[in-house]
Structure 1
Amino acid sequence: MFLQRTAFAAARRVAVRPVVARSFATSIVRRDAANEGVKIKKFEEIKSETDLLPPGAAPGTVPTDLEQATGLERLEILGKMQGVDIFDMKPLDASRKGTLDSPIMVKSFGDEQYAGCTGYPADSHTTIWVTMSRDRPIERCPECGSVYKMEYVGPEDDGHGHDHEHHVEGAHPYHGEEKTFADFVRPEYR
């Protein structure tokens, strides 16, 4: 009785499976044929935010990342298609240990940047994340002592008014950064 059930189940699975599996190549050819009239701008042609709007997918199809991505994601995809690494995602220098005289430089377009330290030699400890900011550009890994320094490469005036003096009517005024144990470390030890 048991053998009859398993034989019946196996026969049912085989009957559903197609004799010739369809390859993905035909899907790609059909996809390219549907997008023949759509022109995708190259990385060098991007001049404004409107250039980062996608063409969208043909009706009745599922859009690819290239057809639906907008903004920075689209800029990154277009850059990778041209061989340009927009966000400079290459790893930090792990060939040496950063010191106060020669820290490992970390470029940042924002006010704050995180860096993951895995020690020297590389992978000698688990990843420990250190936070650098424009106010405190130098940080040291608490595990191995490697020193990292943030190099701000963004615009000089980012329009956010980081004077920390503005406050909302009725709200508590800003009294500076909250104190942590890192604030009590002597600057020469950072």
Structure 2
Amino acid sequence: MLLQRSALAIARRAAVAPAVRRSLATSAVRRDAVPDTKIKGIKEVKTVDDLFGPGAPAGTVPTDVEQSTGLERLEILGKMESVDVFDMRPLDASRLGTLSNPVLVRSAGEEQFAGCTGVPADSHNVIWLGMTRERPVERCPECGSVYKMEYVGPQEDHHHDHGHGHGWKEPKTMADYVKPEYW
């Protein structure tokens, strides 16, 4: 009986499995047949049109450098030349920021978020603080460290309205109810 069941199981497996298995096939691309397209360096980027990749030659798979566009392309070109385009270094966590000497957070946009982990670093869980151009200073409610947004973007701003209309006011926070002398 046991032998009969084993024979049936083997027969089922053999009926499902193909008689000839396909081997792994690869294809090689002749590199001498591909036209040489020069990738511009970050110093050669002058306009937005320079941030479009050349694309891959027909019949090949594009690399990130060949297919990336916009800010992604700018970041890749910067990394190729050891330039940190977006300044991704961590903030100074060696000291407690004060109102007279805050920890500076650089931003090229209208608003910037910074994560405070306390002083010394990792003293408390990450608390995210939001800073804007109108309200550039924020204080961590856990450790009291003060952060200030330093705007480094373009000075002329044509889109400052944010689509909120002329009567829009920033929402109130607990900082609006603190006496001015405590600021």
TM-score bracket for the superposition, by shorter chain length: 0.7 to 0.9
- 1:120 aligns to what SS in structure 2? coil
RMSD over aligned CA atoms reads: 3.2
Higher radius of gyration, 1 or 2: 2
Q: 1:177 aligns with which of 170, 174, 180?
A: 170
Q: Is the 8 A contact 2:116 2:140 kept in 1?
A: yes
- 2 CA distance for matches of 1:69 and 1:31? 23
Contact kept, 8 Å, 2:131 with 2:148, in 1: the verdict is yes
Cα 1:163–1:186 change in 2 (3 A) is farther
Q: Distance in 1 between matches of 2:59 and 2:181?
A: 63
What amino acid sits opposite 2:80 in the alignment? M
| Residue of structure 2 in register with 1:98 after alignment | 97
User: Equivalent residue of 1:106, what SS?
Assistant: strand
Corresponding residue SS for 1:131 = strand
Q: What is the TM-score with the length of structure 1 in the denominator?
A: 0.75
Tell me how far 1:175 sits from its aligned partner: 3.5
Equivalent AA in structure 2 for residue 115 of structure 1: A
Gap runs ≥5 in structure 1: 168-172
Q: Does the CA contact (< 8 Å) of 1:34 and 1:58 recur in 2? A: no
Relative to structure 1, is the Cα distance of residues 31 and 82 closer, same or farther in structure 2, using a 3 angstrom cutoff? farther
Corresponding residue for 1:73? 72
Give the TM-score, by structure 2 length.
0.78
- Cα separation, partners in 2 of 1:165 and 1:137, compared to 1, 3 Å: same
CA distance in 2, matches of 1:31, 1:118: 53
Q: Specify the SS of the correspondent of 2:150.
A: strand
CA contact (8 A) 1:114 1:130 kept: yes
Query: Cα–Cα, structure 1 residues 51 and 185, in superposed 2: closer, same or farther, change >3 Å?
Result: same
Number of matched residues? 173
Q: 1:164–1:176: 8 Å Cα contact kept in structure 2?
A: no
Q: Decide whether the 8 Å contact of 2:35 with 2:57 is kept in 1.
A: no
Query: In the alignment, which residue of structure 2 is the partner of 1:57?
Result: 56
Provide the rounded CA distance (Å) in 1 between the counterparts of 2:125 and 2:95. 17
The letter of the residue matching 2:96 is K
Asked if structure 2 preserves the Cα contact closer than 8 Å seen for 1:164 and 1:174, the reply is no
Q: 1:113-128 to 2 correspondence within 5 Å? A: 113-128=112-127
Q: What one-letter code is carried by the residue in structure 1 that aligns with 2:169?
A: G
